[in-house]
Structure 1
């Protein structure tokens, strides 16, 4: 016999588990022992046993000897069907126990032999099938993630991206520490944590896959040491607080994970930019026709992206202004977006927009061409769904530069600072001739002379990280908590 075949199928395509069960069935049906068959083919009984248990892949010449000894055609011996229902169950359980599922669960293996009752065998096979089904349902494939993103965005649009229950949570927490307006200071942020029973600990060894770690057992929130690269040092702490306040538990699937992330981000922003004072500020700005995301950012001392997000929460609900938001990578792909103003984002057949190329004529792309990244940039864009005005800024990150844009239809631009801009562009997308196809002169010169090597994201074809918290190394987190837990 040749080298060990640990899987169910051999290199030649022979399913060694099914083959073994067929050999055993035919041998016992003829009243032959292992010794009898071993003598007939010139092999030791132990080698016959390994063949029957599917642990070795035999050569074709040996299988011909086995078939002759058992009085059957070689084709019958190599049939892919297990000989009995019991044999089929044994094959399925053996295959499962040799697969990655049992290994990952750390479940001890069961000896699949005659002593295993048939009802127990049925139960074990059914159990492993159900575990596999649940894991498959919870595994976030790119397609499932895109669908979950599209469904969540539809819910946000239906509510004008305004969630009253989260606003109430923010009011309750801010009232508890006596904060009623203006920028939320570091001290007030710490007071919110203390009010909820948490102490803050800045550490140098925070797990690389996390922004914060909360020790619920000891009432501790661990954060990276001051000076670590964060857009706003309050944001990760407030997001951790938000998840606790909202009672987030282990996500049951990727859609649940996305929902929790949106809720935590929303509540954190609502704490940094309180609804009552922000609405008063924006209402006054609208009355004077000088609504500005930059002014909201400066007034509350938050990053531009936080101000842009928060503006979308309040604009339609309180100012009756429909808006859209975009975050676009410098490579031209859409990272995330929201709209309730009729703008049409590029999307795939599932309705997902993440990763789709944005028109080169849109503000979110043209802003990258500007040398001045300090001053606000405004632009009108004529699109197939109407004319929109946008303001946009570029911000850096570890993943490259991103533009963050907020826009509104032409009919509502009269309320905004920057409406007087004369910069105007026209987009014919999704017509390929707009910007998807190269200019004719360039195409004729280079169409057959270029072969670029794409730089896709590593997860483009892979399933998204599977686990309780996608992308987080649980072992690393638990080891971290063990190191830092107070000694009793």
Structure 2
């Protein structure tokens, strides 16, 4: 016999099922371990190891076992367990020998005839449920892309406007007698107190969190430092929003994304209340001076928050279709929204995250400017029409990002910056627009360059596949061309 640690060794024999079949046939013939051991010339302990699936026997030994049990060899090698209980025993044994059970740190249960049938059934079903939950929560890149695409479709169908979240925000602001206008830090604390929470600012908040809520004691822990957060109110308001909305442990990746969008939306609705922001925007439209910067300054929020909030209200209250983009300085799309017909780069699953944005679009051009932190306006002719965009760059711990808001050409008359003379043309998704390096650069450098990607390997799954995943080849070739000796 050869010892094996796997219930299904390379030879293809399922040792667990085989062992249960031998035990079933032995007991059906009123044979003891000693009886079968004597018949095949092996010690009873070796027979026990065989029946428990701990060893893979040679075919010659199986022939002796089959003769001793008076059955054909094919009867022993059948792949189905002999009884329902045997099937459950095999399933539990296999689970206890697997990596999931080992990771739980739970002592194994001895699977013997003394184990009651109901207990055996319960253990097998519990193990299967743990495996199901683990599988559902460990979203593959494909599942994550589909979930993002589905969520974006839902947002588009609703014009990125969620009336139930607006109502929750309105109710909370009324409860603290908020007079309108910007929501102060003190007013934010009042919202927390109204919901029964005390605030605690600590120096050792886990690095992977923005806040931690102790539901048992009504405490919310926040970092004493900024932690990369541009507005100290946001983490608290998002935590409060999750509580008000009754968020539970996400069922899957799609549920996780939905909860994040809802918490972010409600936090923005508290900082830029609909009852105050809408009249402000309607007046600005009437005077043809709509501006994300003005909305930001009036309600004292970060530019990205103002841009997001504008997309919530623009179509529903102003009748203006709009798109929003957040693009990393490396050229990849971080997040986006549209209901104005603009065509974002996407993969075959419809996901846009991690896709390269055309170099001619405002969101990319803004990175090339000497002044990257003032608003930049540009018209762009694309395959789906002409769009006007305003964009600005904001720094972060993950690098710089551009935040852009755009509208179709027919809607630009309502905005500040419409008089810009900056104009560009994009032929994307035609690869000759900007994805393929110019022929002369490619001819010179294609076989002479070897760049190393900056993104961590775990991020590359979301990036488009090219010669070097995550690397802008054109940018590399241009760099080499600038620095090459003459």
**Shorter-normalised TM range:** 0.7 to 0.9
User: Is the 1:149–1:255 Cα contact (8 Å) retained in structure 2?
Assistant: yes
Structure 1 counterpart of 2:174: 175
Structure 1 counterpart of 2:317: 318
User: Is the 1:25–1:83 Cα contact (8 Å) retained in structure 2?
Assistant: no
Match of 1:64 among 32, 50, 60: 60
1:139 Cα deviation after fit: 4.0
Secondary structure (helix, strand or coil) at the match of 1:400 reads coil
User: Is the 1:21–1:83 Cα contact (8 Å) retained in structure 2?
Assistant: yes
Determine the C-alpha separation between the residues in 1 that align with 2:287 and 2:249: 47
Structure 1 counterpart of 2:253: 254
Taking structure 1 as reference, are residues 156 and 69 closer, same or farther at Cα in structure 2, changes over 3 Å only? closer
Structure 1 counterpart of 2:82: 84
User: Is the 2:7–2:14 Cα contact (8 Å) retained in structure 1?
Assistant: yes
Taking structure 1 as reference, are residues 422 and 74 closer, same or farther at Cα in structure 2, changes over 3 Å only? farther
Matched, 1:412 2:408: no
Task: Tell which deviates more after alignment, 338-347 or 432-441.
Answer: 432-441
- The size of the alignment, in residue pairs, is 458
1:432 Cα deviation after fit: 1.7
- Taking the TM superposition and a 5 Å limit, the aligned residue runs for 1:299-338 are 299-338=298-337
1:398 Cα deviation after fit: 2.0
Taking structure 1 as reference, are residues 425 and 299 closer, same or farther at Cα in structure 2, changes over 3 Å only? same
Taking structure 1 as reference, are residues 85 and 127 closer, same or farther at Cα in structure 2, changes over 3 Å only? farther
User: Is the 1:335–1:354 Cα contact (8 Å) retained in structure 2?
Assistant: yes
Structure 2 counterpart of 1:458: 458
Taking structure 1 as reference, are residues 371 and 135 closer, same or farther at Cα in structure 2, changes over 3 Å only? same
Taking structure 1 as reference, are residues 461 and 96 closer, same or farther at Cα in structure 2, changes over 3 Å only? farther
Give the TM-score taking structure 1 as reference length. 0.84
Structure 1 counterpart of 2:349: 350
1:194 Cα deviation after fit: 1.9
Task: Tell which deviates more after alignment, 246-255 or 236-245.
Answer: 246-255
Secondary structure (helix, strand or coil) at the match of 2:400 reads strand
Determine the C-alpha separation between the residues in 1 that align with 2:161 and 2:430: 34
Q: Per-residue displacement from partner, 1:424-452 (whole Å, max 9, x unpaired)?
A: 11111112222222222233334444454
Structure 2: give runs of 5+ residues left out of the alignment. Answer: 463-486
User: Is the 1:27–1:70 Cα contact (8 Å) retained in structure 2?
Assistant: no
Structure 1 counterpart of 2:188: 189
Taking structure 1 as reference, are residues 450 and 84 closer, same or farther at Cα in structure 2, changes over 3 Å only? farther
Secondary structure (helix, strand or coil) at the match of 2:355 reads coil
Determine the C-alpha separation between the residues in 2 that align with 1:167 and 1:262: 13
User: Is the 1:14–1:78 Cα contact (8 Å) retained in structure 2?
Assistant: no
Task: Tell which deviates more after alignment, 40-49 or 161-170.
Answer: 40-49
Structure 1 counterpart of 2:216: 217
Q: Per-residue displacement from partner, 1:171-218 (whole Å, max 9, x unpaired)?
A: 222233332333222122122222222211101111222111112222
Structure 2 counterpart of 1:240: 239
Taking only aligned residues, the RMSD between alpha carbons, in angstroms, comes to 3.0
Structure 1 counterpart of 2:53: 54
Give the TM-score taking structure 2 as reference length. 0.84
1:321 Cα deviation after fit: 1.2
Structure 1 counterpart of 2:140: 141
User: Is the 2:325–2:404 Cα contact (8 Å) retained in structure 1?
Assistant: yes
Structure 1: give runs of 5+ residues left out of the alignment. Answer: 463-488
Secondary structure (helix, strand or coil) at the match of 1:397 reads coil
1:459 Cα deviation after fit: 5.6
Determine the C-alpha separation between the residues in 1 that align with 2:402 and 2:377: 13
Higher relative contact order (CA 8 A, sep 6+): 1
